[in-house]
Each structure stands twice: as C-alpha cells, then as structure tokens.
Structure 1
Amino acid sequence: MSSRCVARLESTTSTPRGRAEASTTLVGCARHRECTMAAAGSDPVRALDGVRVVECGVAIAGPLAGRYLAHLGADVIKVESRSRSAALGMRAPAWAPPDVGLAGGDMLAGNNTFNAQKRGVGLELKSPEGRDLLDRLIEQSDVFLTNFSVPAINSLRIDYEHVRAVNPDIVYVSMPGYGSGEGPYRDYKSWGPNLSSFSGLDYLTGDPDRQPAMTPVPLPDYIAGYHAVTAIISALLHRQRGGAGQWIDISQFESAVATLGPYIGQVSLGGEEPDRTGNRSPSSAPRGVFPTSEDDRWVAVSARTDDEFRTLARIVGQPEWADDARLQTAEGRRAHEDELEAAIAGWCAGRTREEAAYVLQAAGVAAAPVQDHLDHLADPQLRARRFWHLVRHAWLDADLIDGLPFHLDDTPVRHEDASPALGGDNADILAGLADLSPDRIEELAETGAVSAPADPPPGDAKPERPYFGWALPLLRMSRDADMPAGADGVATDRPARPGSSSTSPAGAGPVDGLRVVDLSDGMSAYGARLLAHLGADVVRVEPPEGASIRHEGPYADNRSLLQLYMDGGKRSVTLSLDDPADAATFEELCASADLVYTADEDALAIAQAAREANPELATVAVTPFGLTGPYRAWAADDLTLWALSGILQLTGYPDRRPLIPGAMLAKYFVGQVGAIAALAALYARTHTGRGQLADVSAHEVLLSTSQGGTGLPTLIEDANPRRRTGSSALGSSPYGYYTCSDRLVCLLALTVGHWDALASWIHEETGAEGVLEERFRASSMVRKQYDDEVQEYVDSLAGRYEADEFCKEAQRRGIPAAPVNPTGAMLRDPHLAALDYWSDAEQPGLGRIRWPGAPFRMDGTPWAGAAPAPESGQHNADLADGGPWRPRGDGTG
C-alpha cells in the first residue's frame, strides 16, 4: 500500500439535492478497497477472477482486449513466437545496453500499452508440437481470443471448429479485419489506418477546404478492442447464467462503421453527405481551438448552451452579443461563427492556455488547455486519480503503465505487472497446464516448438529506463511508495463455474432478463445502447423536458439522429428528480433493477441509496472527469476532452490549429468503456454476491485511447518530437494518404514483406530503379528519413489507377491499402451488402431509417436488430401508481 494513500469512505446524510438519504462518498485515493486489503495482508477480489483467456493477438485490437480482461482479474496467457516477433521488427530501445540480446524486444515501452498484466508463453504454432501445446491450454480455458487474419487463422487451425472440438464450452473470439463472413474483403490484409479510411471515419476529420487529416492513433483498433471486451464479458455472463459457450466474430470494419450511426441515418433519409467541419459542432456554437500567447499552445473553448454563450460573451469583452438578435440561438451563432471566433481568438491570444481555460471554467464555460503527452506528467487530475502506475517488469527495476480509465469500488482493477517477456512464463504455464517437465520444455525449445525466454540483460543490477530520474518526480511517484507490494500476481486457479439460479433463454441476448436504468447523456449513451442490443431491458429516465441528448445533432426534421440511434429499443419514462414524489418513484425503480447507468451525480446518489433495498444493484457513473479530483466539477464536451487527451495536439495540418477526430468518436469510446465497466460490475456479483460502484472518467478514456504509439511512456522513451503531419504518419513510411486518379487511398508498408511487394510493383509499373535500393528495406521507421522520395514513388504508382482498382491490386500483392471513403459509400459497399449488415427501423414521423448493424456477431446470443427510439415519456404508463415497475410486456417497446 502506498504510504500516501488517504482513501476513506465518508457517510453522508444528504444527497446533492438536499434529500435526507444515506449515501457513501469516495474521498481521496480511488483505490480505497485495494489499499485497505493490501494493508490487511489479503488479496482483493477481482471482477474476472477464475477466468482464463488464451490470446493469439498481434498489433492493437486483440491485445488491447486481452489487456482489459487481465486488468479485471482474468488469467490472460499471451501466446507469441520468436519468429513472429522478428518478422514485426521487435528491436531493443535505443537506450538499452548494446549486448542486451533478445531481452531488448521485451523492453519496448509500447508493449505495456497492450500487454500489461498478462502471462507470456512462447509457442511456434506452425510446428505440430507447438500447436498441440496450444490445444492443451485451450482445453483448460474459458476464452480464446485472436485478431489474426482469416487466412492465418485457417492455416494455423485455430478456427472455431478446431477450437470448439478441443473445448466445446469455450467463448471463441475472432477479430479479422473484415470478419469471417463470405464477403469480398474477407481475406484482405488490414491495419487500423486502412480501416479508418475504408469505413468513412477519416473522411470526417479535417477542414472542408483540405483533404482529410490522419489521426496519430489507429482509432478503429480501439473501437474493435473495446467492442471485443464488451462481447466477451457479456458472453461470460450468459454462460454463468446457464448458457453455453459461443463464437463471437468481430469484423473490425463493421465495428468501425457502427460508430457512424447518425451519419448513416442522415444519408439514408436523403440528407446531405456529411463533410468535414473542423472543430465545429452541429449542436452548439461557438466551438473551436484558439492560439494563446505561447508558441503552438492552444486552448479549446465550447459554449454548449445559451447561458454559457452569454457568460463567454461577457468574459471575452463582448457583452453586446447577449442582446444581438442574430445570436440568440445555436443556429444563429453557427451562421456567424467566423465573427465569434475572431473575437474569442483575440482574447485568448493575450493569455496562456492554462490562464484562458481556468478563467472560463471558473465561470462555468467548457474549456481546456490543448495538452501534449508531456503535459500528462504533471496533470493534477491524473495524479489525483492515480492514472499512472509503477509496476514490476521482467528485466527492468520498474516500469510505468497507464491504468484503466475506471475504478471499481469493490473489485478493484489490477495494476501490478508490465507486459510479460516473450516466453517469460513458459515454466509455470507449460508445467502447470500442460504437465511438462523442465527437461521436456528444454527439448521443445531446442527443436523450436517452444520459444525460450531471452537471457537476462548482463550485469548484476537491472537496467532502468533513462527517463525515470526526471519523470518520476514530475509524476510525484517513487519506487518505495508506489511499487506494488508482494509478487503474488494474477490468480491462476480456475475454480468450478459458480451455479446460478437464473437461466438465459435460448435465442435471447446474452444479458436478457437484466434491467438497466439509463440516465446517460450524449457522451455516455452508446454504453446503454450496447446493453439494450445485448438483450437488457433498458429504461431511459428523462426530465419532463426531455433528455439533453434529444438536442444534439446531426438532425433530420429537427429530430436528433444521435438520440434516435442511441435510444433505439429502449423504454422512456419522465421523472423530475427535484420532485420528492418522483424521486421516491425513481428510487423504487432503481431498487428493481440490476444496474443504474448514469451521467447524473444527483441520480447516482439516489441509486446508491437504493442499494439498501437491493444490495445486488450495480451503479455506473460515467462523468467527464470521474467522481474525484480537481477537475471533477469542470464543464466539458468532446472537444475539450480530446484537448486534454494528447490526440488533439497531434491531429490536423502543420500550418493550422489542432483538430478534433471526426465522427463524434469520443462518444463511442466513452460509451464502450462505460459498458465494459457495467458488465464487469455485473459479472463480479458472481464472486461477491453484491453490486458495486463503477466510476468511469471520460477524460481518462480518451487519454487511454491516445497511448498507442504516441502516448507518454513511448514519447519520453524515444524522445522523437510529435507534431501535426496532416495526411501522413509520424514515424513510418510509407504510411498515409496517396493520390489515385479519382480520390485518395490509405497505404502503409510496415514490414519488410510489405515494402518488397510494393517496391516490386512500383518498379514493374514505372521502371524506377531507385525504389529497389537496399536503404529502403531496413524498416518503415528508417524509411521515414527518405519520406519525400517514398511519397513520390508511391504517388507515381497510385496516379495510374482509380482508387478501388489500386486497392484490389495492392491487396492481391499482400499490401495493406484501402480507399478514403465518404460516409455514403458505406451504404453502397459490396462487402457490407454481402453480409446483410444493415438494420432498418421504422421511426414514427420520419419513416424508415437505415442504421448500422451489429458491431460484432454472437452465434449463440443474437444482437437485437434496430428498433424505433421512444418518445420522451412514452412508457410512463408502465409505472404503476406509486408501486413497483411493471415487467416488459406487449406494446411496451
């Protein structure tokens, strides 16, 4: 336990609205229960204790899903091979000792972003012995997870039929780029950037007078990874309640398209093709990023409401705006946003980004400094929330990882170990699960069937990351106070599955029968949408004037398409929590539920009180900054949250201000993590028999999502400056957009094989001899120094083709490439059509709307199709007079 832990639980006798209700408030360290149990000498219970996962993952999406499961307590066994790591160019960091050998690949800071908390086993799956050992692990596991391509899955015989034959009860998860269905892209090679362009996400990032801007992180990998965790825990819940194992197939392409729901709905209704809008919003104005008195330092400002606009007008010295007839509505302000932005920019220019943001926040206006990743070293909110963790590492004296972006107050998230060394747990895993002797393990290592762990780095003392000397003081961390105590690690015992009094009906969703009370806002609503489509009875509780999400764009006939997409299939009741009678009814409703999912802290206080009547009730608070810390009361929207994440500073064009990632992605990431926290809290009842509070910080969600390749540990290790680069990647080449005869394509060549295939094609078509020079074959990072030449070579090839034909030929040659598509192209996409992806709903007043289908396919518990969203208060009659909540019945939605 840290000597600086000051956690305590304070009992209070009033709620934020002044009602005399008992509640509990978390004060100080958000890991109170973990610290308390550590002090008592006992290990805390984790949400997924007893679950074993075998992961054959690569890159981001699969490993990210495995990492979340490991942090939540599952025993995640990462299967790797030395040959695969060599093919991906796993090298020692530049600071490592020159004779570090194979251990250097285990020291890369980026490994921790996706592999912390796991155990590692080295198996060569192409060998019969290695493949047999994998079967022995699968036989004793609950989940098998892979994001290999379909051809790789089939060649290694790790497809569902083979795995199910070994363990019929397993939850099998495949995550190929374009899914396992028989569509035309099934065997395509894909990486996150290709999926971002292909799905239409990239098209919406940038300014309308420029080509799209590339985000510095491949965001579709995170979309797929978060969806995978959601699907896996829901499948485990289904199995725990008497159901069987099943196949979850996650097409990363379909998963990304699912985040375009409101835009797809807009086009399907005959609306305009969505375009790039910079940092502006369809729902409010002004909203933008403005230069401050410091060079390349910016502040994000968003006037979300009429009141915030009037306050902003006063602060920036424009009080006359409050009486200007043109500016009385958001629509009017959007029409004059250039004029408003000019005045705001003038005010910001005389202040630092922190000064501007703090003055505006003190007055209740959403604002935030645009942070880069180094700013996260000293951010007071991250420090208060203990976002960074010192952990054990196989070869180093200590390591630094980011935490999960939520806290569970009864089954705390685990933050103890860095990523495992390749094969580092061979002895424990192969002896414990495959019953192999040390001699037999050594024999298999000599034949290559087992990848032996590297020798330790030379010297008596473990190496230290060179930045620890200056970074840890800024983080206010030390090894003595902040290293995890003991070396117990993850619980590897797999007890018998607990019995359950409930059953999951055949053909129903995985969480069918669970009731969710939903008070989400636009930032968190996607989590409740996922729960509804997984089978839960989700009841949206709105104030009499309607939930705020009903006023968020884009719109069709003044109806919020965001709300229609997020609330489809739910019920709606209206209650005023300021009214004592309605508050009492709300508390009874909460007491009848399994979960309360809320962005409203006042509602949370009532829900916490309802746990006295229903101890199994789980509560999830999804708020901008979590329930603790100095930013807790800050106003925020997706722009200001992205500003604090580090991604905004790196997205956009070198000669312009930073830009928000398009397509409202913040709302999906936050909602996905909200659903994960909710399902983890529900599954934890298996062990504890009681509900708990999950505290989700939207700020930390987006910061976590920014860590891949650009985050703090990688940045301070490689010391490469990060900057906005427009339509190319920061550190690799070729990696970016290239110009075909009709539109842009996204192409990347990360491996030597990719480059050789591309260089050969360029030489065949153009006759350029220079492209075959050996200097280009080193690595994509080395090629970056020749980026202008590489760009010229690739453009000379791309210009000979239309985008679709170029990408087909690239894929035939094994080169990851995809067109940069607009949203409307998805509705005409042959792959999605072949898979019968779309889901239509008849919405009263608008007609038939086409929505994205399931972001993942579960063969045993189907995803609920599209359904109309309810009118505000449509199901008030389902509330019996002052009594219990009526169960779902005919005609209730």
Structure 2
Amino acid sequence: MQRPLEGLRVVDLTRALAGPYATLLLAGLGAEVIKVEDPKGGDLARENSPYVGRDGLSVGRKYQDDLSVSHLTRSRGKRGVTLNLKHPEARKVFADLVRKSDIVVENFTSGTAERLGVGYEDARAANPSVIYCSLSGFGATIKGQEGSRAMDVLIQALSGAMYTSGAEDEPPVRIGLPIADVLTPIFAVVGILAAVHHRVRTGQGQHVDVSMLGALTSLVAVENWAAMQAVGMLTRTGATLQRLCPFGLFECADGYIALVAVQDPLAHSLYRAMGQPEMVADPRFATRNARVANATVLEERILAWTRRHPMKEVIARLEAEDVPVAEVRHPQEALADSRVVDRSETVVARHPSYEEGPELRTTGVPIVFSAARTGFDPVFPTSIGEHNTDVFPRLLGYTDAEIERLKQAGVI
C-alpha cells in the first residue's frame, strides 16, 4: 500500500526538535522531505549527546562518522541539502526549491525567516499555492515578540503546566518529556494537512502559524482551574486526583501501580480485591461523592494495602476483580511493549554504516490506516549536504558546473 502523503514535497528549514519532529511525521506519512541545513555545522541536533558509531554509544564523539542519536532519530527518511541562507544567492535557490514543492516548514525565531528572505511572502512569490508553516515560541501575530527565543522549559513555565503536577506545597515540576517541543509539531501537522485540504477545494495556499505557548496552554486549559479553585478543589494533584478518588498512583512493595476505580462498581470491586468487602457499606466510601469528600482517608487505606504486597500480586488481585490497573514502567520497558512494536508506533533506528550497533528504539508514526501504510524512505543525511548531487540536478535542473560554482561561492 502507498502512504497517504506520497506526491507531496516538503522544504524543511527546521532545526533542533519541534520543527524536525513535524517534518519527521510528514516523512513517515509519505511526503518527500528535503532537509535544508547550513553548510557549516548543519542542524543543531547533530551536536546533541549521546552519539552512536563503530564503538556503539558514547557521551562524546569519538570518530568523524559518529552520529548524534538525536539527529539519527529526527532526520530519518529525509534528503539533506545545504544552503547558506545568509548568502544573497541563497534566495534564488530557495525560490527554485519552493517552485517544485508543496509545503515549507520553518521554526526560526519569529521574524528571522523574513529577514533572511525565506519567509512566507518570499515563498508565495515563488509558488502562490505553497503551504508555509511557521512554528515559533509565541506566534507570528504577536507584535514585539520578534526574535524572542523559546525553549521547551520556558514554554512549560509560561503555560502554567509546571503548576499542574506535584503537591500544593511543592516547587513547580518540570515535565520530563519536552512536551512543548513535541506537542507543537503535532498541531503544526494538523494545520498543514487542513491547509492541504483547503487548497484542494480552493486552489489557495496559505500561511499556517503555530505557537509553542499557544499549543501547550491550550492543553492546560482543558481543565477549568478557576472553577476548581472556586469550589475549594486542589489544583495541584500530585500522585492522585482526589476529585475522582480513587484515581492515580499507589506505591507497592517493589514499585508503583496506576489505578482507576471512580464509579461505584469499580470502587466496590477494589475493596473486594483488598480483602476488605466491608468498606462497601461504609458511608465514607460507598458512593462517589462520599469518596471524594473522604479522599485522604481512602487513599491511606489503599496505600496501607498496596505497600504490603509486591506489584504483580496487587495487579493480579485487581485484574481478577476487573479493576483498571497498570504497572508504572520505565521508558525503556514501555518502548519495547509488543503492543506498540507490532503497530510500528516505536521502531528501531540504526547507524546507516553500522547495522550491528545497539538497538535504539525511537518514535514511529502512531497512526494505523486501513487503506494506506506509514514508514520512512530509506534515505538519511549522514553527512551535511549528502543529497546535494541528487536534489539539485533532479528537481532544479542544476548542472554539475552550477552546483560546483554555488559550492565554491559558499551558497551551498
């Protein structure tokens, strides 16, 4: 089967994580992605530790062909070319690429693409039907933010997300996953695909503008924090969510479980699994509202039971009573779960020159189609500008002499 986005071509001006993850998803859905890097240094992710190479994994680069694991995972399925965007002649090369493409994606700080001559208006002049997507910290429409740098930790701080986890008396908690960096590109891809459909209907291209702060804050807003605060509910929930009690994490003798027993039948099944069926008749724990009102006491009763037993035993007892439960796993275990491996939701990435190296399990495309497939083209920009001699002649018709001239002039 073909992939859904085959036939679409993407000019990828992105770097680091947020932008490259957006174009990675597009590549996994079948688009041809042309990754544009600066001739000197390339993508910032090329210098991220750890590295993989002939000696396996290392904190620092030992050999010239060692690859950053970040670059290895984020640039799969992309063709890599070079273009010095600060060189005056780069604008013509960019325009030539855009004429042959459907989509442009960039994640410079707001205003930078325009200063370099590769902004939306420049792209539209070359190709009026182009779909141009910008990922920035605060969006292109907020004046005064041009040039403002936005890192994941800064966006987590500004969005309020850091005060949604942890207990009320604890410091703010940084989410361990770079949530703003991986959430924003998902919205970007949604916007790009919506714009593709709009173009099919109208023939119009457009600018898709996604901000990191807006993406993460919109998810924080899923909960109504003001309403909860007004009625005296805890807005920082820590390991459990008392307004749904029992709901959350509970410590066992050798690990942790996640438990959900919100409705009365599930709560009563929990009490039976605990060997305390008399709790069903206790007015403090019999109904949902009573459990919420007495959440602290109920959670202490549950913890007194779970802490006495190994995790597997607790899970077995709860599953026997059909109570939703799961072990809390470390990421390495989770990525190897057969349920995600079999669906290619996590996949193995290897150094292109050392197939016998360590198994590095990384993100796939977590979508399964009935009439299409996902997956990455067997290309990868190991070296900076690896595909110059493919992309520039094949797509743009540049001769060998022209490519050499651009190289000597410092354009590519």
Smaller-chain TM-score bracket = 0.7 to 0.9
Out of 411, 436, 440, which is 2:398 matched to?
436
Residues 355 and 128 of structure 1, relative CA distance in 2, 3 Å threshold: farther
Residues 57 and 47 of structure 1, relative CA distance in 2, 3 Å threshold: same
Instruction: Measure, in 2, the Cα distance between the counterparts of 1:112 and 1:226.
Output: 20
Tell me the SS of whatever aligns to 1:433: helix
What's the CA shift string for 1:624-670, capped at 9, x where partnerless? xxxxxxxxxxxxxxxxxxxxxxxxxxxxxxxxxxxxxxxxxxxxxxx
Does the Cα contact within 8 Å between 2:16 and 2:44 map onto a contact in 1? no
Tell me how far 1:264 sits from its aligned partner: 5.2
Instruction: Measure, in 2, the Cα distance between the counterparts of 1:208 and 1:326.
Output: 24
Matched, 1:303 2:303: no
Tell me how far 1:271 sits from its aligned partner: 6.6
Aligned equivalent of 1:63: 20
Out of 138, 141, 144, which is 2:104 matched to?
144
Does the Cα contact within 8 Å between 1:393 and 1:419 map onto a contact in 2? no
Instruction: Measure, in 2, the Cα distance between the counterparts of 1:272 and 1:78.
Output: 51
Does the Cα contact within 8 Å between 2:6 and 2:31 map onto a contact in 1? yes
Matched, 1:179 2:136: no
Residues 92 and 178 of structure 1, relative CA distance in 2, 3 Å threshold: closer
The residue identity in structure 1 corresponding to 2:34 is I
Tell me how far 1:147 sits from its aligned partner: 1.1
Aligned 1:634-713 pairs, distance under 5 A: none
Tell me how far 1:339 sits from its aligned partner: 2.2
Matched, 1:286 2:246: yes
Matched, 1:77 2:34: yes
Tell me how far 1:342 sits from its aligned partner: 2.3
Tell me how far 1:353 sits from its aligned partner: 2.8
Residues 158 and 265 of structure 1, relative CA distance in 2, 3 Å threshold: farther
Aligned 1:874-885 pairs, distance under 5 A: none
Residues 204 and 428 of structure 1, relative CA distance in 2, 3 Å threshold: same
Instruction: Measure, in 1, the Cα distance between the counterparts of 2:341 and 2:409.
Output: 48
Q: Percent identity?
A: 29
Residues 79 and 247 of structure 1, relative CA distance in 2, 3 Å threshold: same
The residue identity in structure 2 corresponding to 1:166 is A
Aligned equivalent of 1:189: 149
* Structure 2, gaps ≥5 residues long: 55-60
Aligned equivalent of 1:423: 385
What's the CA shift string for 1:561-601, capped at 9, x where partnerless? xxxxxxxxxxxxxxxxxxxxxxxxxxxxxxxxxxxxxxxxx
Residues 184 and 129 of structure 1, relative CA distance in 2, 3 Å threshold: closer
Matched, 1:403 2:403: no
Aligned equivalent of 2:57: none
Instruction: Measure, in 1, the Cα distance between the counterparts of 2:323 and 2:184.
Output: 34
* Structure 1, gaps ≥5 residues long: 1-43, 451-893
Aligned equivalent of 1:345: 303
Aligned 1:474-489 pairs, distance under 5 A: none
Tell me the SS of whatever aligns to 1:133: helix
Instruction: Measure, in 1, the Cα distance between the counterparts of 2:245 and 2:48.
Output: 48
Instruction: Measure, in 1, the Cα distance between the counterparts of 2:313 and 2:77.
Output: 39
Tell me the SS of whatever aligns to 1:250: strand
Tell me how far 1:74 sits from its aligned partner: 0.7
Aligned equivalent of 2:332: 374
Tell me how far 1:95 sits from its aligned partner: 5.5
Matched, 1:412 2:377: no
Matched, 1:223 2:183: yes
Tell me the SS of whatever aligns to 1:289: strand
Aligned equivalent of 1:680: none
Instruction: Measure, in 1, the Cα distance between the counterparts of 2:353 and 2:399.
Output: 25
Aligned 1:601-616 pairs, distance under 5 A: none
The residue identity in structure 2 corresponding to 1:359 is R
Tell me how far 1:374 sits from its aligned partner: 2.3
Out of 302, 314, 324, which is 2:282 matched to?
324
Instruction: Measure, in 2, the Cα distance between the counterparts of 1:176 and 1:407.
Output: 29
Instruction: Measure, in 2, the Cα distance between the counterparts of 1:210 and 1:281.
Output: 16
Aligned equivalent of 2:58: none
Out of 324, 330, 335, which is 2:293 matched to?
335
Out of 130, 144, 148, which is 1:170 matched to?
130
Instruction: Measure, in 1, the Cα distance between the counterparts of 2:344 and 2:113.
Output: 39
Residues 344 and 91 of structure 1, relative CA distance in 2, 3 Å threshold: closer
Tell me how far 1:51 sits from its aligned partner: 0.8
Tell me the SS of whatever aligns to 2:284: helix
Does the Cα contact within 8 Å between 2:28 and 2:375 map onto a contact in 1? yes
Tell me how far 1:439 sits from its aligned partner: 4.1
Does the Cα contact within 8 Å between 2:225 and 2:235 map onto a contact in 1? no
Aligned equivalent of 1:45: 2
Aligned equivalent of 1:357: 315
Aligned 1:492-507 pairs, distance under 5 A: none
Does the Cα contact within 8 Å between 2:72 and 2:349 map onto a contact in 1? no
Tell me how far 1:359 sits from its aligned partner: 3.4
Q: Taking structure 1 as the reference length, what is the TM-score of the superposition?
A: 0.42
Matched, 1:122 2:79: no
Residues 114 and 378 of structure 1, relative CA distance in 2, 3 Å threshold: closer
Instruction: Measure, in 2, the Cα distance between the counterparts of 1:171 and 1:138.
Output: 10
Does the Cα contact within 8 Å between 1:393 and 1:417 map onto a contact in 2? no
Tell me how far 1:129 sits from its aligned partner: 3.1
Residues 187 and 360 of structure 1, relative CA distance in 2, 3 Å threshold: same
Does the Cα contact within 8 Å between 1:54 and 1:77 map onto a contact in 2? yes
Tell me the SS of whatever aligns to 2:40: helix
Residues 415 and 182 of structure 1, relative CA distance in 2, 3 Å threshold: closer
Q: Taking structure 2 as the reference length, what is the TM-score of the superposition?
A: 0.88
Tell me the SS of whatever aligns to 2:89: helix
Tell me how far 1:65 sits from its aligned partner: 1.2
Residues 273 and 239 of structure 1, relative CA distance in 2, 3 Å threshold: farther
Residues 392 and 141 of structure 1, relative CA distance in 2, 3 Å threshold: farther
Residues 120 and 247 of structure 1, relative CA distance in 2, 3 Å threshold: same
Instruction: Measure, in 1, the Cα distance between the counterparts of 2:362 and 2:162.
Output: 29
Residues 380 and 352 of structure 1, relative CA distance in 2, 3 Å threshold: farther
Tell me how far 1:397 sits from its aligned partner: 2.3
Instruction: Measure, in 2, the Cα distance between the counterparts of 1:87 and 1:332.
Output: 54
Tell me the SS of whatever aligns to 2:355: coil
The residue identity in structure 2 corresponding to 1:47 is P
Residues 86 and 50 of structure 1, relative CA distance in 2, 3 Å threshold: closer
The residue identity in structure 2 corresponding to 1:375 is E
Instruction: Measure, in 1, the Cα distance between the counterparts of 2:151 and 2:271.
Output: 45
Tell me the SS of whatever aligns to 1:145: strand
Tell me how far 1:283 sits from its aligned partner: 4.8
What's the CA shift string for 1:234-255, capped at 9, x where partnerless? 1101111234111111122122
The residue identity in structure 1 corresponding to 2:109 is S
What's the CA shift string for 1:311-358, capped at 9, x where partnerless? 011101221211111223323212222222223223323443344334
Aligned 1:496-645 pairs, distance under 5 A: none
Instruction: Measure, in 2, the Cα distance between the counterparts of 1:281 and 1:440.
Output: 64
Tell me how far 1:443 sits from its aligned partner: 3.8
Tell me how far 1:276 sits from its aligned partner: 1.0
Residues 320 and 264 of structure 1, relative CA distance in 2, 3 Å threshold: closer
Does the Cα contact within 8 Å between 2:72 and 2:351 map onto a contact in 1? no
Residues 321 and 269 of structure 1, relative CA distance in 2, 3 Å threshold: closer
Aligned 1:813-892 pairs, distance under 5 A: none
The residue identity in structure 2 corresponding to 1:207 is A
Instruction: Measure, in 2, the Cα distance between the counterparts of 1:89 and 1:168.
Output: 33
Does the Cα contact within 8 Å between 2:91 and 2:118 map onto a contact in 1? no
Aligned equivalent of 1:860: none
Tell me the SS of whatever aligns to 2:244: coil
Instruction: Measure, in 1, the Cα distance between the counterparts of 2:21 and 2:154.
Output: 18
Aligned equivalent of 1:449: 411
